[in-house]
Amino acid sequence: ENYLVSEYIAEFWNSITNGTFIILACLGAYTTIKYDHSRRMLLCYIAMMFVGVGSVWFHATLKYTTQLLDELPMLYLAGMVLYTTIEIKRDIRYGVKVPIAIATYLVLFSVVYINWLQSPVFHQVVFASTALVSFFSAAKRKKQLGLSEASQKILRRMVVRGWAGMMGGFFVWNLDNIFCHQLRTYRSYVGAPWDAVLQLHG
């Protein structure tokens, strides 16, 4: 199915829908600057933008080098989100220990993944584990903010929705990996434009 829609883009719909990441990252960066949030949040949105750009590039070319630009920024973003759930105050509380520890973890994964263990399952397990730790860290920090009950309710709802969206996307991503051949058959059966929905992307 590669280059089916365009002779210049290998996986057309997967490439196009990744523009959503870039648009949302730009909006997030804009609101972060507008409301003078911490630079850590801005860096998260910049990392999210790199995820979108890398994923567009990979699905457009299907090269190994661009695959790394798709997969590695995902984990780097997850690591940065983890850091923001630990350092929740504007003032740095834990110094350089936490970012150095997370950066070391990300570098070690990158080296192992690129040189020895080039397995999608390895990448998915590390990514999901990092996201899971971030979720529990956010839930723990939420109790330490000293917010009113109404504010805690809003924050709780945001955390649950964010977690559900991320894990829902992770689940669909794995469905696509596991049932790729069956989905390809279904796409050829339904035809355009409904085949785009069965790409399970975006």
**What are the pLDDT digits (tens) for 176-195?**
777 777 777 777 777 666 66
CB atoms within 10 A of CB 146: 7
Task: Using a pLDDT cut of 70, give the percent of the chain over it.
Answer: 91
Q: Are 185 and 195 in contact (CB under 8 A)?
A: no
Structure-block tokens of residue 30: 């804009």
Q: Which of 105, 101, 87 is nearest to 39 (CA)?
A: 87
Q: Is 14 left (phi over 0), alpha (psi -120 to 50) or beta?
A: alpha
Model pTM score: 0.80
Tens of pLDDT along 1-11? 678 778 888 88
Give the single-character DSSP code of 145.
S
Compute the distance between CA of residue 150 and CA of residue 73 in angstroms, rounded to an integer: 35
